[in-house]
């Protein structure tokens, strides 16, 4: 018995009601670069209803007031190439340019990167460092939530009625803000993160006014380091303080071991990368 169905709704409200009607069977598919790996692995007929979100017009990248608004279905190649992103939130362009390989970047979306719920989701780490807000849509309406809250909220709550990630709202960097993105990987071509360190900060000379430092692949989700903010904000950034921060931030992490690296190595290397990104500021 063939149970698989495929749906390609043409607008968002139609998609929301479709997902709500389909219930548990519904699986959202965007670029498919994550989902298809799983489907290919076990080629069996599933009792699933695929809802393709690529035709919802959610691939925009636009400027609204002092934000860049990126549709959930914008692909990584378009984001990397976008003049707007390069100019206003270059951190995201850099991060996306280092994800996967060209062919995958032509398909993979930011919404999908969030949807993977992965500890090494680079797009999520970059958006988090920038302070992005996630907007979801469902038959119950739209919900807005900071991305760091989104990743830790149980699925049932954040995607009530089986909602769709609609867009990301990213505050543009101001003239007095600085950023950094460092991804440690096994090889230079097509490689997922061993870990990443990124930051968005405001500096007045060597004094740190604000600090948003994000670690990727160092816990179940990318996270914003509280220690970094507590320790560095309002302080003169000295090399002693940088060393202290690198050590203390580790207490917030829960690095795992996998084929790419051990927890031991991740802890060592994270300190090195934290020191490097902070040293660039002074």
Ligand X SMILES: Cc1cc2nc3c(=O)[nH]c(=O)nc-3n(C[C@H](O)[C@H](O)[C@H](O)COP(=O)(O)OP(=O)(O)OC[C@H]3O[C@@H](n4cnc5c(N)ncnc54)[C@H](O)[C@@H]3O)c2cc1C
Nearest to 237 by CA among 198, 213, 205, 214: 205
Residue 138 interface partner, choices ligand X, another protein, none, CB cut-off 5-8 Å depending on type = none
Decide if residue 211 touches ligand X (CB under 6 A).
no
Nearer of residues 8 and 241 to another protein, judged by Cβ: 8
Decide if residue 74 touches ligand X (CB under 6 A).
no
- Upper half-sphere CA count for residue 245 (Cβ side, 13 Å): 28
Strand bridging mode 193-204 / 207-216: antiparallel
User: Considering the complex, what minimum distance in angstroms separates the CB of residue 134 from another protein?
Assistant: 23
Residues of span 84-123 touching ligand X by CB under 6 A: 99-100, 104, 107-109, 111-113, 115-116, 120-123
- Are 125 and 222 in contact, with CB atoms under 8 Å apart? yes
Residue 72 interface partner, choices another protein, ligand X, none, CB cut-off 5-8 Å depending on type = ligand X
Instruction: Write the CA distances from 62 to 89, 123, 170, integer angstroms.
Output: 12, 18, 10
The contacts of residue 122 (CB under 8 Å, 6+ apart) are: 95, 96, 98, 99, 113, 183, 192, 193, 196, 216
Residues of span 44-73 touching ligand X by CB under 6 A: 53, 72
Nearer of residues 150 and 227 to ligand X, judged by Cβ: 150
Please provide the distance, in angstroms rounded to a whole number, between the alpha carbons at the two ends of the chain: 65
129/30 Cα distance (integer angstroms): 24
How many residues belong to the site for ligand X (CB under 6 A)? 31
List of residues contacting ligand X (CB under 6 A):
27-35, 37, 53, 72, 99-100, 104, 107-109, 111-113, 115-116, 120-123, 164-165, 190, 192
Note the residues at the interface with another protein (CB under 8 A). 2, 4-6, 8, 29, 31-33, 35-37, 39-41, 43, 45-46, 48-50, 52, 54, 100-104, 106-107, 184, 186-192, 257-262, 264-265, 268-269, 272-273
């Amino acid at each position: 018995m063939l149970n698989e169905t495929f749906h390609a709704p043409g607008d968002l409200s139609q998609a929301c009601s479709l997902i709500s009607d389909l219930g548990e069977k519904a699986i959202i598919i965007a670029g498919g670069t994550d989902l298809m790996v799983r489907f290919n692995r076990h080629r069996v007929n599933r009792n699933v209803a695929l809802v393709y979100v690529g035709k919802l017009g959610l691939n925009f990248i636009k400027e609204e007031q002092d934000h860049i608004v990126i549709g959930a279905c914008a692909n990584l190649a378009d984001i990397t190439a976008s003049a707007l992103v390069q100019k206003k939130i270059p951190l995201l362009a850099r991060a996306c340019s280092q994800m996967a390989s060209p062919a995958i970047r032509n398909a993979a979306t930011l919404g999908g990167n969030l949807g993977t719920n992965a500890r090494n989701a680079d797009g999520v780490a970059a958006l988090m460092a920038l302070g992005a807000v996630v907007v979801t849509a469902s038959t119950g309406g739209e919900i807005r939530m900071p991305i760091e809250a989104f990743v830790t909220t149980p699925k049932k709550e954040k995607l009530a009625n089986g909602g769709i990630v609609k867009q990301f709202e990213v505050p543009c960097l101001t003239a007095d803000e600085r950023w950094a993105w460092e991804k440690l990987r096994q090889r230079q071509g097509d490689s997922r993160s061993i870990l990443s360190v990124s930051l968005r900060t405001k500096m007045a000379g060597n004094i740190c006014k604000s600090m948003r430092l994000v670690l990727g692949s160092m816990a179940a989700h990318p996270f914003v380091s509280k220690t970094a903010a507590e320790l560095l904000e309002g302080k003169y950034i000295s090399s002693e303080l940088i060393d202290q921060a690198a050590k203390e931030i580790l207490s917030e992490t829960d690095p795992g071991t996998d084929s790419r690296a051990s927890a031991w190595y991740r802890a060592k290397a994270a300190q090195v990368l934290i020191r490097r990104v902070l040293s660039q500021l002074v």
